Amino acid sequence: MQQALAQWTPEDLDEMLEDVDDDGTVERMTRQWVIWHLIEHDLHHGGELSFVLGAHNISAIDL
């Protein structure tokens, strides 16, 4: 991911991607949207892990 981001231009991040669901519904999103939601997803689960660790008196992970 780091290599891709180093090479992509802002225009590349605006490139539209398509995902077709099983029912034929087409979802369109930009590369930028996909990257942000991947980060958002990881942050969410990292927070969950930190909460559980803290509940057991274990140091939280460093996000």
Domain map of the chain by residue range?
2-55
**DSSP labels, 19-34:** EE-TTS-EEEEEHHHH
CB count, 10 Å around CB of 38? 11
Least confident of 7-11, 18-22, 42-46: 42-46
Q: Answer for the pair 62, 47: CB distance below 8 angstroms, yes or no.
A: no
Residue 43 has pLDDT above 90, yes or no: no
Q: Where are the alpha helices (DSSP H) in the chain?
A: 2-7, 10-13, 31-55
pLDDT of the residue at 35: 94
Q: Read off the tokens for 23.
A: 């029912």
Residue 6 has pLDDT above 90, yes or no: yes
